C-alpha cells in the first residue's frame, strides 16, 4: 500500500505490516503499533541517509514488520564496502535511540506507559536485523564478507538459505512461547514474514546477479580499469557454472582446457555476460571458442 513520498522517495506499507497493525488494533493497543511504525520508519530512513551520502540512488522504501527494504541502485551489492555501511546503519540507529532514551531518563524524561516498550522495540529490532539472513541487515553484512571469498552468487544463495532456517527457528520458538503464554502471535508472524521475504529474495536472485554482471561490464567501459581474477575451466562446463565464483569489483579471465588439460582458448567475462544473456545458463563455454 502506497503511503506517500518522503524526501522524494516513494513509501510503501507491506500488507504484512498492515496485518500486524490490525492485530495491535484488535488488542486495543494501536498506540503501540504506531510506535513500532515510527521506529521502523526511522530505521529505514537511516539506511536512506547513509546510501544517499555514499552517492547511491534510492528508488523506494517498503516498510515490513521487522524493518523494511530500501530499493537502492544495484551498485550497492556490487560494492561490498557500501553495502556494509548501508546495512549496519539501520541497527545502529536503533541502538542510538536506546542510548538516547536512557540518557533522557537521567533528566526525568521517562514515561512508564511508553518508554520501556520503546526500549524493548528498538533492542528487538536491532537484534533481529543483525541475524545473518537475507533480506535482514545482518544478512547483507554477511553476504558482503562472504561474497569476497566464494562469489556473489554463491554467497547470496547461502545467506538466503540461512534466512529460511532462522525463519523456521523463530516460528517454532514464537509458537512455543505463545503456547506457554509468554508472548503473542507477533513473533511467529515475524518468522513467517522472514521466510516469505527470504523466498522472495531467492526468486529475484538470478535477475539481480545478471544485472550485476552487466553493470560491471558498464563500469569497465566507464572507468577503463578493473582488477582481474583468473579462472580455469573445462570446455564442457556451462556458463551457469562458470559465473558461480565471480566476485564483485573484479574482471574475470577464463582459461579453457579440454579434459586432457590441453589449452583451448581464453574467454573474457564480457563475452560470458553477452552469451549468458543471449543463450542462457546451460550454454557450454566450448561454443564460444570459435
Give the model's confidence band at 48: pLDDT under 50 very low, under 70 low, under 90 confident, else very high. confident
Q: Taking residues 99-113, what's their average pLDDT?
A: 81
Q: What are phi and psi of 99, to 5 degrees?
A: -65, -35
Strands 250-257 and 227-234: parallel
Signed CA dihedral, 245, 266, 270, 78: sign only: positive
- 249, 228 in Cβ contact below 8 A? no
Top-confidence range, 79-83, 103-107, 199-203: 103-107
Chain-centre distance for alpha carbon 93: 17
Give first-to-last CA distance, the chain, whole Å. 52
Top-confidence range, 14-18, 83-87, 278-282: 83-87
Long-range contacts of 150-157 (CB under 8 A, 24+ apart): 150/245, 151/244, 151/245, 151/246, 151/247, 152/77, 152/209, 152/212, 152/246, 152/247, 152/248, 153/205, 153/209, 153/243, 153/244, 153/246, 154/244, 154/245, 156/201, 156/205, 156/208, 156/209, 157/202, 157/205
Sort 153 into a burial class: Cβ within 10 Å, 0-12 / 13-18 / 19+: buried
Residue 197 is inside which H or E element, if any? helix 186-223
- The yes-or-no verdict on residue 77 having pLDDT over 90 is no
Condensed to tens digits (0 to 9), the pLDDT of residues 242-253 reads 887 877 667 889
The three grid cell numbers given for residue 37, joined into one nine-digit string:
511504525
- The yes-or-no verdict on residue 103 having pLDDT over 80 is yes
Distance from C-alpha of 78 to C-alpha of 198, rounded to nearest angstrom: 20
Long-range contacts of 170-175 (CB under 8 A, 24+ apart): 170/194, 171/195
Single pTM value for the model:
0.66
Condensed to tens digits (0 to 9), the pLDDT of residues 117-170 reads 888 889 988 988 898 988 888 988 888 888 777 777 778 888 888 989 999 998
Give the chain's mean pLDDT: 80
Distance from C-alpha of 155 to C-alpha of 140, rounded to nearest angstrom: 10
Distance from C-alpha of 66 to C-alpha of 190, rounded to nearest angstrom: 7
Top-confidence range, 56-65, 145-154, 257-266, 277-286: 257-266
Q: What are phi and psi of 227, to 5 degrees?
A: -65, 150
Closest CA to 195 of 228, 220, 161: 161
Condensed to tens digits (0 to 9), the pLDDT of residues 163-213 reads 899 999 989 988 888 887 776 666 787 788 788 878 877 777 666 666 666
Amino acid at each position: 500500500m502506497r503511503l506517500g513520498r518522503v524526501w522524494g522517495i516513494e513509501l510503501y506499507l507491506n500488507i504484512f505490516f498492515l496485518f500486524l497493525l490490525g492485530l495491535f488494533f484488535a488488542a486495543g493497543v494501536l498506540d503501540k503499533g504506531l510506535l513500532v511504525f515510527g521506529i521502523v520508519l526511522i530505521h529505514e530512513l537511516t539506511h536512506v541517509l547513509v546510501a544517499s551520502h555514499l552517492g547511491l540512488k534510492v528508488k523506494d522504501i517498503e516498510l515490513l514488520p521487522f524493518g523494511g527494504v530500501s530499493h537502492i541502485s544495484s551498485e550497492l551489492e556490487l560494492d561490498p564496502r557500501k553495502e556494509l555501511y548501508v546495512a549496519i546503519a539501520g541497527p545502529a540507529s536503533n541502538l542510538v535511540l536506546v542510548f538516547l532514551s536512557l540518557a533522557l531518563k537521567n533528566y526525568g524524561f521517562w514515561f512508564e506507559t511508553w518508554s520501556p516498550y520503546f526500549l524493548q522495540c528498538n533492542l528487538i529490532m536491532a537484534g533481529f536485523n543483525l541475524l545473518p539472513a537475507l533480506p535482514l541487515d545482518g544478512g547483507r553484512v554477511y553476504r558482503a564478507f562472504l561474497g569476497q571469498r566464494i562469489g556473489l552468487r554463491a554467497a547470496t544463495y547461502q545467506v538466503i538459505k540461512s534466512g529460511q532456517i532462522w525463519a523456521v527457528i523463530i516460528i517454532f520458538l514464537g509458537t512455543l512461547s505463545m503456547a506457554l503464554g509468554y508472548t503473542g502471535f507477533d513473533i511467529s508472524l515475524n518468522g513467517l514474514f522472514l521466510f516469505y521475504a527470504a523466498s522472495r529474495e531467492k526468486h529475484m536472485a538470478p535477475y539481480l546477479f545478471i544485472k550485476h554482471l552487466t553493470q560491471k561490464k558498464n563500469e569497465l567501459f566507464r572507468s577503463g580499469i578493473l582488477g582481474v581474477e583468473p579462472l580455469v575451466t573445462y570446455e564442457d562446463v556451462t556458463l551457469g557454472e562458470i559465473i558461480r565464483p565471480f566476485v564483485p569489483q573484479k574482471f574475470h579471465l577464463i582459461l579453457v582446457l579440454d579434459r586432457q588439460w590441453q589449452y583451448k582458448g581464453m574467454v573474457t567475462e564480457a563475452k560470458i555476460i553477452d552469451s549468458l544473456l543471449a543463450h542462457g545458463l546451460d550454454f557450454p563455454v566450448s561454443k564460444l571458442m570459435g
